[in-house]
Structure 1
Amino acid sequence: MPPFRVLYLDMNSFFASVEQHLDPALRGRPVAITAVDSDAGACVAASYEAKAYGVKTGTRVADARRMCPGIVFRPSRHRLYVRFNLAIADVLDRHAELTHIRSVDEFQLALSGDAQSLDGAAELVARLKATVAAEVGPCLRFSAGLGPNHLLAKIAGKLEKPNGFQWLSVENMPDRIAHLALDDLPGISRAMKDRLMRAGVYDVPQLCQLDPRHARLIWRSVEGERFVRMLQGMDIPLTATQRGGFGNSKILSPEYRDPRRAYMVGRWLVEKATARLRRDGRVAGRFSLTVSMLAGSVWSRGVSCFPTQDSAFFLRLHRALWKALWRNGRPGQVIAVGVQLGDVSLLAERQGDLLKPLGPSEKTRGEQVSAAVDQINARFGDGAIRYGINAPHPGFFERG
């Protein structure tokens, strides 16, 4: 069996578990975390006791109350969860090499020595579980995934919840994950799933057996080749210069769920994502919009473009995609909005365009304006200058 190099830890019902740890009266009871203290609000996290009744992220508070009599609601406390995240990270780093804090509830560790074997890794996981329980809290449990690279380790970490431990390698792939849908895999959006299916890739075994060069064509990026090679067990490290995209998504509070208000939140998300793109000195050649309806349906579309970092340009693409969504009639209430800037590369490596005309790595007029806006906002505060009307929706329940 090839050596295992990565251990991925996924905390189980992290927000609810923190609340149960701090209030022993909540232990063993169904708990849901909410962004808004209202029956019209939605659950953004749930304990496993609540999940057993069907309560999950996005479930309306009123529905959760009906589905799970006796459920306890607690408001989100972002700073508190971050403090527990850091406490767990400290434990992990004392027992292994903590290489990445992937999110508030996910951690990635590099393995060496005996821990690269299955038995050695199992011993390490047991030690970490015991230490986290003893030093941070017995309610704080995690599922662990083991793999030869970070992708397989992360997938393995999702296979057994709660408090599980699974591994993936060339020895048990792709059979071990053949039951998963394509978009169950991290990094496969609904739009990418549609693209794969149009290319004749209908399930996970077919994806695992895909020629990596074909994957590059489907993704329209080297990231497709990297993704398939990792599924096939190759150790391809994460590097800062190979970021796949910049994006933000937001679970909307009730007052923002009208589609017109959700559209304005989307404009704000575009401004945030493009500002981050420029801070990293990058350009994006694809823009995608995802709109999730309260009724359960999801609409997602993307469009390719000349690589740019111009906020006004991406806002025009954002508007065009919303128009496409409205084409068949006014959408219903919106529960979440997400924007994604993909096909990312360095501005310094962008080729020129004779038709504009534009020299290699030279900024367009729109990009120069965007950079000036960044400078003013850095001096006078975010939002001092905006690209027209938007609807800021600050809060913890966003990604990006």
Structure 2
Amino acid sequence: MSTHPHLEALPFAEDRFTHLHVDLNSFFASVEQQLHEEYRNKPLAVVPTLGDTTCAIAASYEAKALGIKTGTRVGEMKKLCPDIILVQGNHSEYAEFSHRISAAVELVCPVAHTPSIDEMVCQLLGREQEPPRARQIAMDIKQSIKDNVGETLRCSIGMAPNRYLAKIASDMQKPDGLIGLLPSQLPRAIAHLDLRALPGVGARTEQMLLKKNITTMQELLSLDRNGMHALWNSVWGDRLFHWLRGHNTGDDGAPIPSDLQKSLGHSHVLAPEHRSPQGAWSVAHKLIHKATMRLRMEKMAAASLSLTIRYALTREQAATLPKTKRHLSGITHTGWAMEARFPHCQDTLSILEALQALWKQSPMGPLNQKPFFVGLALGRLIPENEQQPTLFADPNNRSQLSTTMDKLNLKYGHATLHFAGMLAARDSAPTRIAFTQIPVQYGVDYM
């Protein structure tokens, strides 16, 4: 057992990965080696201009092995390797390759964020988060880049329970690495790293930490949340405390006042008989029924609802679009998403009205006639006892209605008493799908 209590993994952490961070290795140099076969397996540096006073903006791994790296001046490079190949950077080519690589990644898993020209972030949903499935997705991404873009384009992929840790993991093994940081291994699994391995910790921040007697990652991780806040004198310390322990806070920038869950929801790949606007609505209706019941069981209130719909395309339809995506099931699709915000509440009718308003804004064109995936998430969660009192009476006794429904559904099953709109999908969307967490048992059902 560790002698540092703050290095112990949290007992409730689930061993799942929510994010993959794809980091292309020596990107500019690798593009040049892909474009010019004669450059392959040779030391090469990309420079802004062909002059002895400039420095490398990228180096191939053959050059790195000789001590040449980003920032090395041309004169020094030539001393280290007289035969170094110098190539003037062509950023239009690099941008084109970045788009091609992103498209190759999208063939395997949707790209949720593109932090830079040589990085992509994928967010995993449901069973994709299971470590064996996540690892297979990562391996498929590597293969897709090789097959669809070029054999010299290698990447390191980090898998983690939040985006910040996934970035750290992607830097832990290069080139062509694949590292996963499981919640049960955290934060011990990163205790050996240098402080500079943390995104956002540069030379200036490192000096600040050294002046405050934080010289190693182990010393940093030994601080509790209050200590981390005091160290940075800002909420950045709170954020870092949570991220380094594998917490998935639901965002990557908002303050983290506590361990409170940040979102709650469900998603579902529709059965063929429900792949119509009417069928998808029935499934969405059932998902909101399950999510709002869970919201009340967790004694929370929500103030936002996010809705995501993905539409299956025929080969002919896909050919008319400049960009499409491919689901893990093999379905080529396009997608739509929107968020609604409202005063904090937890009753089904109020949140159902928000869903209805979102649904009316969903696209209804010829490319949107076969929805095959529906996902929703309730966000901006707070404990139910922190809701602001309203000046108006509860319309139609909505809270009491929801409470009565919950009593019956907990006893006999969550679909025993429901609104008529979900009737067509009453038996669809079983609880094998988990949008933000594994199923939890409420009454006789798991949800």
| Alpha-carbon distance between aligned partners in 1 of 2:25 and 2:189, rounded to the nearest angstrom | 22
Once the 2 structures are TM-superposed, how far is the Cα of residue 239 of structure 1 from its aligned partner? 5.1
Q: Which moved more, 1:90-99 or 1:116-125?
A: 90-99
* Structure 2 residue aligned with 1:186: 199
Among 48, 66, 75, the residue aligned to 1:53: 66
Q: Which residues of structure 1 form unaligned runs of 5+? A: 243-400
Alignment of 1:151-162 (within 5 A): 151-162=164-175
Q: TM-score with structure 2 length normalisation?
A: 0.52
| Alpha-carbon distance between aligned partners in 1 of 2:107 and 2:226, rounded to the nearest angstrom | 40
* Structure 2 residue aligned with 1:216: 229
Among 66, 79, 85, the residue aligned to 1:72: 85
Among 95, 109, 129, the residue aligned to 2:142: 129
Q: Sequence identity, in percent?
A: 35
| Alpha-carbon distance between aligned partners in 2 of 1:51 and 1:164, rounded to the nearest angstrom | 16
2:72 matches 1:43: no
Q: TM-score with structure 1 length normalisation?
A: 0.58
Q: Deviations over 1:202-252 (max 9, x none)?
A: 21122223212222222122111101210011112335777xxxxxxxxxx
| Alpha-carbon distance between aligned partners in 1 of 2:56 and 2:89, rounded to the nearest angstrom | 10
Aligned to 2:112, the other structure's residue is in SS state strand
Among 55, 63, 76, the residue aligned to 2:76: 63
Q: Say if 1:15 and 1:38 are closer, same or farther in 2 by CA, change over 3 A.
A: same
| Alpha-carbon distance between aligned partners in 2 of 1:178 and 1:239, rounded to the nearest angstrom | 22
| Alpha-carbon distance between aligned partners in 2 of 1:174 and 1:18, rounded to the nearest angstrom | 36
Aligned to 1:237, the other structure's residue is in SS state coil
2:55 aligned partner, one-letter code: A
2:250 aligned partner, one-letter code: P
Q: Does the CA contact (< 8 Å) of 2:15 and 2:131 recur in 1?
A: no
| Alpha-carbon distance between aligned partners in 2 of 1:170 and 1:239, rounded to the nearest angstrom | 18
Aligned to 2:41, the other structure's residue is in SS state coil
Alignment of 1:1-400 (within 5 A): 1-238=14-251
| Larger RCO (CA under 8 A, 6+ residues apart) | 2
Q: Does the CA contact (< 8 Å) of 1:152 and 1:169 recur in 2?
A: no
* Structure 1 residue aligned with 2:268: none
Q: Does the CA contact (< 8 Å) of 2:187 and 2:246 recur in 1?
A: no
Once the 2 structures are TM-superposed, how far is the Cα of residue 193 of structure 1 from its aligned partner? 2.1
| Alpha-carbon distance between aligned partners in 2 of 1:67 and 1:233, rounded to the nearest angstrom | 42
Q: Deviations over 1:84-105 (max 9, x none)?
A: 1111111222321211001010
Say how many residue pairs are matched.
242
1:230 aligned partner, one-letter code: W
Q: Say if 1:241 and 1:173 are closer, same or farther in 2 by CA, change over 3 A.
A: closer
Q: Say if 1:41 and 1:159 are closer, same or farther in 2 by CA, change over 3 A.
A: same
Aligned to 2:77, the other structure's residue is in SS state helix
| Alpha-carbon distance between aligned partners in 1 of 2:44 and 2:175, rounded to the nearest angstrom | 16
Q: Say if 1:134 and 1:33 are closer, same or farther in 2 by CA, change over 3 A.
A: same
Aligned to 1:25, the other structure's residue is in SS state helix
| Alpha-carbon distance between aligned partners in 2 of 1:41 and 1:239, rounded to the nearest angstrom | 36
| Alpha-carbon distance between aligned partners in 1 of 2:21 and 2:240, rounded to the nearest angstrom | 17
Q: Does the CA contact (< 8 Å) of 2:109 and 2:122 recur in 1?
A: yes
Question: For the pair shown, which has the larger CA radius of gyration, 1 or 2?
Answer: 2
CA RMSD of aligned residues (A): 1.7
* Structure 2 residue aligned with 1:326: none
Q: Does the CA contact (< 8 Å) of 2:45 and 2:56 recur in 1?
A: yes
| Alpha-carbon distance between aligned partners in 1 of 2:22 and 2:143, rounded to the nearest angstrom | 14
2:183 aligned partner, one-letter code: V
Q: Say if 1:237 and 1:142 are closer, same or farther in 2 by CA, change over 3 A.
A: same
Q: Which moved more, 1:101-110 or 1:176-185?
A: 176-185
| Alpha-carbon distance between aligned partners in 1 of 2:70 and 2:245, rounded to the nearest angstrom | 32
Q: Does the CA contact (< 8 Å) of 2:16 and 2:182 recur in 1?
A: no
Once the 2 structures are TM-superposed, how far is the Cα of residue 107 of structure 1 from its aligned partner? 0.8
Once the 2 structures are TM-superposed, how far is the Cα of residue 160 of structure 1 from its aligned partner? 0.6
Q: Say if 1:77 and 1:237 are closer, same or farther in 2 by CA, change over 3 A.
A: farther
Q: Does the CA contact (< 8 Å) of 1:174 and 1:205 recur in 2?
A: no
Q: Does the CA contact (< 8 Å) of 2:163 and 2:252 recur in 1?
A: no
Q: Which residues of structure 2 form unaligned runs of 5+? A: 1-13, 256-447
Aligned to 2:115, the other structure's residue is in SS state strand
Q: Which moved more, 1:195-204 or 1:146-155?
A: 195-204
